[in-house]
Amino acid sequence: MPAHHRSLAAITAVLLTSGILSACSVAGGAEGEADNVIVVGYQSKTINTVTAGTLLRDLGYFEKRLEDLGDYEVEWQDYDTGAPITAQMLAGKIDIGSMGDYPLLINGSRAGTDDSGTSMIAVTGYNPHGALNGVVVNQDSDVTQLSDLEGASISASVGSAGHGTLVQALEKEGLDPNDDVSVENQDPSVGAAALKGGSVDAVSQFVAWPGLLAFRDDARLVYDGGQLDLPTLHGTVVRNEFADQQGEIVDAFLQAQIEATNYLHEHPLEASEIVAEKTGLPAEVVYLYNGRNGVSTFDTTIKPEQVAALEHDVPFLKSIGVLTDPVDVGEFVDDSLIKEAFGAKYDATVGSTENPAAITGRDDVCGEKVEDPALAGEIWVDGESDTRPVASPECLLRNVNAVEADGDQLRAAYLPDAVTGTRWFADRMVWLQDGEALLPFATEESAQEYRADHPGAEPLTWEQALETAG
């Protein structure tokens, strides 16, 4: 068994007996820095990692726990993608990092899984169906479904989860991602500018870019990654040598990550506003993903379905040439430390995919208790300290009408897609009326899938849906 799979208690006992904990040098510090500097690499704008990055940093939970262990300092290094975090970990300059599923696998491949390698030790956030990724087109584009992009130019960050979603979705549609479309390898911000300027026809990216571009009215969601029904996740990774030598510090980080996760569950709106302030992202976009019943579920446990998803991703990464070295997913993923940090409820939690931050309460306009996550939504009224829960799509429309009647300003309205369950901005969804039912869909493709089984359903604009709800 590799050294990094030893129990935390055993590691700590060895370190305490030998005095290494107080004397050993933390590898992350740059030349001239104190030996007690712990370096954490994170991506502030990748909001699926905030419990191990932006939010955790702001709350100070890690630093607080380190006070009990000695005179330690934390250096937080912010990056746009996971690649430079991996490079710095390989150089021994970052001790703990967080990144998405594809970068995690590349990290494990390039670092290896022995004592000089790295291990994934926890999850930050995930979506069980893949809805963290999406393909968007310009608002005035004629494209209504993914197959319409045959012959198109599509911006994606090659090797990212957004790229993987695009490739797998195209293949599912019977299109060759190498011959039937032209993929432009671009950073998300470059792709967003290219879409606005008309030099690409679509952008395929990861959280929070699809939501951000839709919220800005710069784009329209044309493909929801949730249609693939493959889990997407982000996680925490550590250098094995650091974990072996500094077991107490790794445990302190995981305990702090659990605390930050609990804070997000208990204060989802406040957490979203913290992240928005630190990143410059609109709070409404952050809350779409990180809020109650959000697109992202935050849970530190490592679930078997997530490990299976990582194994499923390996052949794709090999096929595009970004996974040049082998990676043993079973060795790279090490849940022993998070199990120990999490405690007795680990097994029960690892078996659940319910979002702990659920929409609950009473819909005052409809006079109903809010219960069913497949129907429940929220409205965010400007100037109010929390969102208002709504029981159903029809009730959301009635709530919006009530807000307008009161002369208040609506900041955002959220609902799940009636087919995929993906949460989206209600006023940017495709609406159908099927008898008395008013139904929202994140994409035209999802709406057409519903209409195939319900040919009597008729499309409505947002304004028409509001008028119909009364």
- pLDDT at residue number 203: 98
| pLDDT over 70, % of the chain | 92
- pLDDT at residue number 20: 29
- pLDDT at residue number 351: 95
Q: Please give the mean pLDDT across all residues of the chain.
A: 91
| pLDDT over 90, % of the chain | 86
**What residue type is assigned to position 370 of the chain?**
V
- pLDDT at residue number 113: 63
- pLDDT at residue number 17: 31
The average pLDDT across 364-383 equals 96
d(CA 122, CA 269): 24
332-347 pLDDT, tens digit each: 999 999 999 999 999 9
**Residue 169 pLDDT greater than 80, yes or no:** yes
SS3 of residue 358 by DSSP: coil
- pLDDT at residue number 464: 98
Q: Where is average pLDDT lowest: 26-30, 137-141, 356-360?
A: 26-30
The average pLDDT across 415-419 equals 97
The average pLDDT across 322-327 equals 85
d(CA 55, CA 173): 38
- pLDDT at residue number 360: 96
**Residue 196 pLDDT greater than 60, yes or no:** yes
The average pLDDT across 101-109 equals 93
Query: Distances in Å between the alpha carbon of 232 and those of 31, 125, 147, 180, 310?
Result: 37, 9, 23, 25, 9
Q: How confident is the model at residue 111 (pLDDT cuts 50, 70, 90)?
A: confident
**Residue 394 pLDDT greater than 80, yes or no:** yes
The average pLDDT across 179-187 equals 95
The average pLDDT across 405-425 equals 97
Provide the 8-state DSSP code for 387.
P
- Spatial neighbors of 198 by CB under 8 A, at least 6 apart, are 138
- Residue from 253, 417, 399 nearest 337 by CA: 253
- Residue from 418, 320, 407 nearest 377 by CA: 418
- pLDDT at residue number 35: 67
d(CA 456, CA 437): 12
Provide the 8-state DSSP code for 429.
S
- pLDDT at residue number 114: 65
Give the residue, 271 or 164, on which the prediction is more confident.
271
207-239 pLDDT, tens digit each: 999 999 999 999 999 999 999 999 999 999 999
- pLDDT at residue number 12: 36
CA 105 to chain centroid: 16
If you count DSSP H runs as helices and E runs as strands, how many of each does the chain have, helices first?
Answer: 20, 20
pTM above 0.85, yes or no: yes
d(CA 309, CA 225): 14
- pLDDT at residue number 428: 97
Longest dimension (CA), the chain: 75
- pLDDT at residue number 83: 86
User: Phi then psi for 394, rounded to 5 degrees?
Assistant: -60, -40
**DSSP string of 4-49?**
GGS-HHHHHHHHHHHTHHHHPPPTTSPTTS-TTEEEEEE-TT-GGG
* Residue bearing tokens 């926890």: 122
**Secondary structure element (H or E) that encloses residue 96, with its range:** strand 96-100
Angle separating helix axes 393-405 and 462-469, nearest 10 degrees: 90
End-to-end CA distance of the chain: 65
d(CA 350, CA 156): 32
For the record, the structure tokens of 383 come out as 């100037």
19-70 pLDDT, tens digit each: 323 223 344 444 434 469 999 999 998 999 999 999 999 999 999 999 999 9
| Domains observed in the chain | 3-126+231-350 (3.40.190.10), 133-228 (3.40.190.10), 362-469 (no CATH)
The average pLDDT across 88-106 equals 95
d(CA 462, CA 465): 5
